[in-house]
């Protein structure tokens, strides 16, 4: 299938070096260098990586389809037949992800210069951000599972550090820990998946974790092992990409600075799970059962999160649930075999979701940190740029035809339908309607209607500075036009991104034009009806929502309380764990077994030393005598040996 | 002619006597003398084996052993002098500052 | 060398070596050492190592033994009053030495029977010089350096240092005293 060539391209190393230098600079010199220099260095590091990625893309496009660029940083693990290098591989899939990570990353870094302008800890912030960029690039460029895992853990660490960035708030620090712990559960799955796959290959004599080699020899893996490994990897993906059952950390992650939410918890890191599944597509295609699980979890998560988003009042929380929902779409596409569509949705989602978060950040910036939509409203005139760009993003996420989200979401739903997942397709269409509803609810509550802003904040209400609005405009343009790189096949220039990715992620079945049109029409109708419903509820008849909430009663409460999932986990997992660690581990094992072991070791050392130290008489002759005894023993052995062997 | 093994056994006996002096005597000077006995027992062994093998290298070894023995005697006796000055004894078991 | 001559010098060497170890007075020990060395040098000459045998007698008896004698005089040690010491250590030491003797004997008894006749010029100064100044030249030069360092070191260690005399004894004694006090406490 892959008949392209692999070309050495050392500049890939530079792509990692730039953010790494940024980290070192910000960490050690950032405080002394001052705000302006930190801003320049941090942004330049990421922009530099983006330009290098563009250069690499140009090189890649000049090669035949299915080619890749590679570079090797260092030899890493050389144990017997197992040889793992820290190698980079820039193929079509990595190219798309790299451009998204460094491109959207550049925009968000630029925005951060304004957003974090008054924070005293800006050097630490930018150090973490650059470290995140570095880790994410490692994740997407790593040419083997272990190197990818380093990046995977690195982004997890940065996520934790940035969620808990304002660590003096105990709740924020707690949320950071929660994200870290939940991610660890997924990471364990990822790691076990690596072990399973490595063992499966090694038992057939192939010692490798390299993606290209594994892909070539995937037929060596039995379908049982492939199923197990696929499910374990998917567990890892649910942790990182916030899917059921491990999605609970993402809404709480919104306490971090808003650029962080935009970059890490919307545009890039949370899509790493989708990228990983697409990267391992050759494994998933072996096992239809695993693909079904991926598709079902994706669709159910998409629907579930969309319903929760309907009843949230915190602007960032709505966006968090919408992220979960959109990633659910991506997994639906991946599970249906349309890895290309899933990656395409990563790209468009990165544009409009980053824009939504940055727009929300702009609103919060204007309102002095206010996040509650019930204290917003009527901001249209005060924040014209934010309003216009947010409108574009909202239309894009609602998948209004012509906007970027439409093309990618349409491809996913079409793939789900074509592959025979009619129920999941139906769920996807309903979710599309819900998406329109909750997104325009957010939009209308924020920018339209009567102003509910606290009086004290009104005089200081202002549009954000240019350093923040320019990124918004750039992202708005991308949200508007970004989808046109993946038109339906046969229309104008066709599905360029799909063709670009095809050698890496494989081909999908498609349907005849008319049927595809019908499918698009259904999905678009659902999305637009959500939009209209939102308009009726929140603009035309503002009293309606309260009545609807009162009417639906328990259901509404359940939605507002996020189906009580946190409470459920608390009851099922956290409390038993605390009980176990408190009673069994702390009071029994720790007090007796471990302390006994530790104290015993100390006592044994003390007693032994007290006995042995008498050997040190200080008398040289005793030492000589001991030495003589040793010489005697050696001599006796030599004698014995010479007698035995002549 | 005397068999070589006689020389070797004699060397072994002298070496063992030297070791006995090192281990048993407490006077540092006598310990040094015992070490000289040990060195020369080895010298005898070297020359005897060299003769058995028809090689002169053993004698060159003896030459070096003598040189090293001379150097060792010079430094060792100087150390004994210094020890006697500061501790007023040359008994090996009384010079035990390194004791636990 | 005839067996009778060998036996004479062998007995002389063993008896005088025992004298080195067993004599009470260091001076007597030293005289016994002289006898041992002379017996050994005779045996070496008998083995054909004429040059080395004479060298041994001259260097050891003429130089090293005299240095011993000087030190004994300098320290004014006539007899060693408290010699008997720890009986257990002595017993154990004697036992170990016996074991050593037995093991070495077991080794050497099985050596080749008789030495082949010495080639012409064996053990002569010519032959020795040939080896030392060609094959072992580097080792020889290193030895000269060793002797130089030993001489300087011996002078440095044994010399009286009037300026820091109090510091050396004072510091050593007080450190030792502290150790002892800590032990008692």
The subunits that touch chain C, with at least 3 C-beta pairs less than 8 Å apart, are A, B
Cβ pair B23:A613 closer than 8 A: no
The answer, yes or no, to whether residue C39 has pLDDT greater than 90, is: yes
Cβ pair A621:B23 closer than 8 A: yes
Residues 20-49 of chain B with CB under 8 A from chain C are 20-21, 23-27, 29-30, 32-34, 36-37, 40-41, 43-44, 47-48
Give the pLDDT of residue C23.
86
Kindly report the nearest CA distance between residue B51 and chain A, in angstroms: 23
Strand partners, B91: B27
Average pLDDT over residues A23-49: 89
How far, in Å, CA of A218 to CA of A380, rounded?
55
Q: Does A624 touch chain B (CB under 8 A)?
A: yes
The answer, yes or no, to whether residue A407 has pLDDT greater than 70, is: yes
Q: In which element (H, E) is residue C79 found?
A: none
Contact C4, C46 (CB under 8 A): no
C-chain CB neighbours of A635 within 8 Å are 100, 103-104, 107
How far, in Å, CA of A320 to CA of A252, rounded?
9
Cβ pair C3:B40 closer than 8 A: no
Q: Does A613 touch chain B (CB under 8 A)?
A: yes
Radius of gyration (C-alpha) of chain B in whole angstroms: 17
Torsion, CA C114, CA C120, CA C123, CA C125, rounded to 10: 180
Q: Does C142 touch chain B (CB under 8 A)?
A: no
Cβ pair A618:B100 closer than 8 A: yes
The subunits that touch chain A, with at least 3 C-beta pairs less than 8 Å apart, are B, C
Of the pLDDT bands very low, low, confident and very high (cuts 50, 70, 90), residue A109 is: very high
Structure tokens at C111: 């050596």
Contact C55, B63 (CB under 8 A): yes
Nearest chain A residue to B95 by CA: give it: A619
Nearest chain B residue to C69 by CA: give it: B29
Q: Does B7 touch chain C (CB under 8 A)?
A: yes
The answer, yes or no, to whether residue A259 has pLDDT greater than 50, is: yes
Of the pLDDT bands very low, low, confident and very high (cuts 50, 70, 90), residue A47 is: very high
Q: Which tens digits make up the pLDDT trace of A508-522?
A: 766 677 778 888 888
Nearest chain C residue to A629 by CA: give it: C96
Nearest chain C residue to B42 by CA: give it: C40
Contact A135, A158 (CB under 8 A): yes
Query: What residue spans define the domains of chain A?
Result: 74-86+114-543, 572-615, 620-646
Q: Does C55 touch chain B (CB under 8 A)?
A: yes
Average pLDDT over residues A365-370: 83
Question: Taking Cα atoms as reference points, which of A394, A215, A427 lies closest to residue A307?
Answer: A427
Q: Does B22 touch chain A (CB under 8 A)?
A: yes
Q: Which residue has the higher pLDDT, C118 or A290?
A: A290
Chain A residues within 8 angstroms (CB to CB) of chain C: 621-622, 625, 628-629, 631-632, 635-636, 638-639, 642
The answer, yes or no, to whether residue C172 has pLDDT greater than 50, is: no
B-chain CB neighbours of A621 within 8 Å are 22-24, 26, 31, 92-93
Chain C residues within 8 angstroms (CB to CB) of chain A: 89, 92-93, 96-97, 99-100, 103-104, 106-107
> What is the SS3 assignment for A369?
coil
Nearest chain C residue to B54 by CA: give it: C118
> What is the SS3 assignment for A8?
strand
Question: Taking Cα atoms as reference points, which of A346, A345, A340, A349 lies closest to residue A510?
Answer: A340
The answer, yes or no, to whether residue C115 has pLDDT greater than 80, is: no
User: What percent of chain A stands above pLDDT 90?
Assistant: 36
Q: Which tens digits make up the pLDDT trace of C51-63?
A: 899 999 998 888 8
Give the pLDDT of residue C167.
47
Q: Does A620 touch chain B (CB under 8 A)?
A: yes
Cβ pair A622:C89 closer than 8 A: yes
B-chain CB neighbours of A620 within 8 Å are 92, 95
Q: Compute the mean pLDDT over every residue in chain C, rounded to the nearest whole number.
A: 80
Give the pLDDT of residue C111.
63
Of the pLDDT bands very low, low, confident and very high (cuts 50, 70, 90), residue B23 is: confident
Of the pLDDT bands very low, low, confident and very high (cuts 50, 70, 90), residue C168 is: very low
Kindly report the nearest CA distance between residue A580 and chain B, in angstroms: 48
Of the pLDDT bands very low, low, confident and very high (cuts 50, 70, 90), residue A119 is: confident
Nearest chain B residue to A621 by CA: give it: B23
Cβ pair B36:C147 closer than 8 A: no
Q: Which residue has the higher pLDDT, A363 or B98?
A: A363
Burial class from Cβ neighbours inside 10 Å (0-12, 13-18, 19+) for residue A25 reads: buried
Q: Compute the mean pLDDT over every residue in chain A, rounded to the nearest whole number.
A: 87
Kindly report the nearest CA distance between residue A610 and chain B, in angstroms: 10
Of the pLDDT bands very low, low, confident and very high (cuts 50, 70, 90), residue C175 is: very low
In whole angstroms, how far apart are CA C20 and each of B20, C72, C86? Answer: 10, 15, 20
Q: Which tens digits make up the pLDDT trace of A585-622?
A: 777 887 888 888 888 899 999 999 888 888 888 788 88
Query: What are the helix (H) ranges across A269-338?
Result: 272-279, 281-284, 288-310, 315-335
Give the pLDDT of residue C176.
47
Give the pLDDT of residue A334.
92
Contact A329, A295 (CB under 8 A): no
Of the pLDDT bands very low, low, confident and very high (cuts 50, 70, 90), residue C174 is: very low
Kindly report the nearest CA distance between residue C131 and chain A, in angstroms: 32
Give the pLDDT of residue A74.
86
Cβ pair C83:B80 closer than 8 A: no
The subunits that touch chain B, with at least 3 C-beta pairs less than 8 Å apart, are A, C
Q: Which tens digits make up the pLDDT trace of A128-169?
A: 999 999 999 999 999 899 999 999 999 999 999 999 999 888
Contact A111, A358 (CB under 8 A): yes
For B63, the closest of C52, C63, C110 (CB atoms) is C52
Q: Does A616 touch chain B (CB under 8 A)?
A: yes
Of the pLDDT bands very low, low, confident and very high (cuts 50, 70, 90), residue A2 is: very low
Average pLDDT over residues C21-40: 91
The answer, yes or no, to whether residue B83 has pLDDT greater than 50, is: yes
A508 sits in the region (left: phi over 0; alpha: psi -120 to 50; else beta) called beta
Q: Does B81 touch chain C (CB under 8 A)?
A: yes
Domain B4-87 CATH class label: mainly alpha
User: What percent of chain C stands above pLDDT 90?
Assistant: 30
For B100, the closest of A613, A621, A628 (CB atoms) is A613
Residues 6+ apart with CB under 8 A from A269: A132, A136, A155, A158, A159, A240, A263
Residues 6+ apart with CB under 8 A from C13: B10, B14, C36, C39, C40, C43
How far, in Å, CA of A329 to CA of A271, rounded?
11
The answer, yes or no, to whether residue B2 has pLDDT greater than 70, is: yes
C-chain CB neighbours of B21 within 8 Å are 20-21
pTM of the entire predicted model: 0.67
Kindly report the nearest CA distance between residue C100 and chain A, in angstroms: 6
Kindly report the nearest CA distance between residue A638 and chain C, in angstroms: 9
How far, in Å, CA of A438 to CA of A318, rounded?
8
How far, in Å, CA of C86 to CA of B94, rounded?
12
Q: Which tens digits make up the pLDDT trace of B61-81?
A: 999 999 999 999 999 999 988
Of the pLDDT bands very low, low, confident and very high (cuts 50, 70, 90), residue A352 is: very high
Average pLDDT over residues A358-387: 86
Give the pLDDT of residue C169.
46
Q: Does A645 touch chain B (CB under 8 A)?
A: no
> What is the SS3 assignment for A402?
coil
| Range list of β-strands (E), A166-299 | none
The answer, yes or no, to whether residue C37 has pLDDT greater than 50, is: yes
Establish whether the linkage from the previous residue to C97 is cis, with ω within 30° of 0: no
Q: Report ipTM (2 d.p.).
A: 0.91
How far, in Å, CA of B70 to CA of B40, rounded?
12
The answer, yes or no, to whether residue A48 has pLDDT greater than 80, is: yes
Q: Which tens digits make up the pLDDT trace of C62-93?
A: 888 998 988 888 887 655 555 555 677 778 77
User: What percent of chain A stands above pLDDT 70?
Assistant: 98
For C103, the closest of A621, A625, A632 (CB atoms) is A632
Residues 6+ apart with CB under 8 A from A211: A89, A143, A144, A145, A279
Cβ pair B3:C114 closer than 8 A: yes
Cβ pair B100:A621 closer than 8 A: no
Cβ pair C154:B20 closer than 8 A: no
Cβ pair B92:A614 closer than 8 A: no
For tokens 């959207």, the residue is: A104
Cβ pair C157:B69 closer than 8 A: no
For C99, the closest of A622, A632, A642 (CB atoms) is A632
């Amino acid at each position: 299938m892959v008949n392209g060539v692999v070309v050495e391209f050392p500049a890939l190393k530079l792509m990692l070096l730039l953010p790494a230098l940024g980290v070192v600079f910000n960490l050690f010199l950032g405080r002394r260098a001052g705000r302006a220099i930190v801003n320049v260095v941090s942004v330049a590091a990421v922009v530099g990586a983006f330009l290098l990625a563009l250069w690499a893309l140009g090189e890649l496009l000049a090669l035949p389809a299915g080619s890749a660029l590679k570079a090797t940083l260092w030899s890493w693990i050389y144990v017997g037949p197992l040889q793992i290098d820290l190698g980079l591989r820039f193929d079509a899939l990595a190219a798309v992800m790299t451009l998204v990570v460094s491109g959207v990353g550049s925009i968000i870094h630029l925005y951060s210069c304004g957003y974090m302008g008054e924070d005293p800890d800006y050097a630490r912030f930018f150090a973490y951000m650059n470290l995140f960029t570095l880790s994410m690039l490692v994740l997407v460029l790593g040419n083997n599972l272990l190197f990818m895992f380093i990046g995977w853990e690195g982004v997890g660490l940065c996520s934790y550090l940035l969620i808990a960035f304002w660590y003096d708030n105990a709740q924020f620090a707690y949320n950071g820990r929660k994200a870290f712990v939940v991610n660890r559960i997924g990471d364990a799955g990822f790691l076990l998946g690596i072990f399973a796959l490595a063992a499966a290959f090694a038992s057939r004599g192939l010692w490798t974790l390299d993606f290209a080699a594994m892909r070539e020899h995937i037929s060596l893996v039995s379908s049982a092992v492939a199923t197990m490994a696929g499910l374990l990897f998917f567990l890892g993906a649910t942790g990182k990409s916030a899917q059921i059952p491990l999605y609970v950390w993402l809404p709480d992650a919104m306490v971090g600075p808003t650029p962080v939410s935009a970059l890490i918890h919307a545009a890039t890191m949370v899509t790493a799970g989708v990228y990983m599944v697409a990267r391992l597509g050759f494994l998933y295609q072996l096992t239809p059962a695993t693909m079904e699980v991926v598709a079902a979890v994706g669709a159910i998560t998409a629907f579930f999160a969309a319903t929760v988003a309907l009843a949230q009042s915190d602007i960032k929380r709505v966006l968090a649930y919408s992220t979960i929902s959109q990633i659910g779409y991506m997994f639906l596409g991946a599970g249906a075999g349309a890895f290309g569509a899933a990656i395409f949705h990563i790209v468009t989602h990165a544009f409009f979701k980053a824009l939504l978060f940055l727009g929300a950040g702009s609103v919060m910036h204007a309102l002095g940190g206010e996040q509650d939509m019930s204290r917003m409203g009527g901001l249209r005139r005060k924040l014209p740029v934010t309003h216009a760009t947010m409108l574009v993003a909202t239309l894009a996420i609602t998948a209004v035809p012509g906007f970027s989200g439409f093309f990618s979401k349409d491809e996913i739903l079409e793939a789900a339908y074509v592959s025979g997942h009619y129920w999941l397709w139906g769920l996807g269409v309903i979710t599309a309607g819900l998406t329109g509803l909750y997104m325009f609810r957010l939009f209308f509550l924020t920018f339209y209607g009567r102003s509910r802003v606290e009086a004290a904040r009104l005089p200081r209400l202002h549009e954000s500075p240019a350093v923040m609005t320019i990124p918004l405009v750039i992202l708005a343009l991308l949200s508007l036009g970004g989808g046109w790189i993946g038109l339906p096949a046969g229309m104008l220039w066709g599905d360029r991104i799909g063709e670009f990715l095809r050698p890496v992620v494989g081909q999908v079945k498609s349907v005849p034009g008319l049927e595809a049109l019908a499918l698009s029409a259904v999905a678009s109708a659902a999305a637009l009806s959500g939009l209209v419903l939102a308009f009726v509820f929140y603009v035309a008849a503002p009293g309606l929502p309260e009545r609807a909430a009162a009417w639906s009663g328990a259901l509404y409460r359940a939605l507002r309380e996020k189906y009580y999932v946190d409470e459920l986990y608390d009851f099922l997992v956290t409390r038993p764990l605390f009980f176990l660690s408190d009673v069994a581990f702390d009071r029994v094992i720790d007090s007796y077994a471990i302390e006994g072991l530790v104290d015993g070791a100390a006592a044994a050392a003390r007693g032994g030393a007290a006995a042995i130290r008498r050997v040190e008489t200080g008398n040289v002759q005793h030492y000589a005598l001991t030495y003589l005894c040793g010489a005697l023993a050696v001599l006796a052995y030599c004698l014995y040996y010479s007698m035995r062997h002549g | 002619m005397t068999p070589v093994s006689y020389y070797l056994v004699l060397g072994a006996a002298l070496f063992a006597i030297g070791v006995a002096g090192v281990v048993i005597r407490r006077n540092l000077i006598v310990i040094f003398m015992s070490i000289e006995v040990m060195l020369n027992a080895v010298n005898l062994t070297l020359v005897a084996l060299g003769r058995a093998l028809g090689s002169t290298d053993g004698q060159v070894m003896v030459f070096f052993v003598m040189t090293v023995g001379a150097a060792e005697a010079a430094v060792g006796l100087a150390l004994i002098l210094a020890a006697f000055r500061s501790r007023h004894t040359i008994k090996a078991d009384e010079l035990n500052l390194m004791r636990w | 060398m005839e067996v009778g001559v060998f036996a004479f010098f062998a007995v002389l060497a063993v008896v005088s070596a025992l004298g080195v170890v067993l004599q009470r007075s260091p001076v007597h020990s030293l005289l016994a050492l002289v006898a041992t060395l002379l017996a050994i040098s005779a045996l070496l000459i008998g083995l054909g190592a004429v040059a080395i045998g004479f060298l041994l007698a001259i260097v050891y008896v003429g130089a090293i033994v005299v240095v011993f004698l000087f030190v004994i005089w300098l320290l004014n040690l006539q007899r060693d009053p408290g010699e008997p010491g720890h009986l257990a250590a002595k017993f154990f030491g004697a036992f170990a030495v016996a074991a050593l003797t037995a093991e070495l004997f077991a080794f050497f008894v099985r050596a080749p029977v008789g030495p082949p006749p010495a080639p012409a010029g064996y053990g002569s100064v010519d032959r020795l010089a040939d080896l030392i100044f060609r094959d072992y030249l580097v080792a020889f030069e290193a030895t000269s350096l060793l002797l130089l360092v030993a001489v300087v070191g011996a002078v440095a260690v044994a010399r009286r240092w009037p300026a820091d005399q109090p510091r050396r004894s004072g510091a050593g004694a007080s450190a030792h005293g502290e150790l002892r006090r800590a032990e008692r406490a």
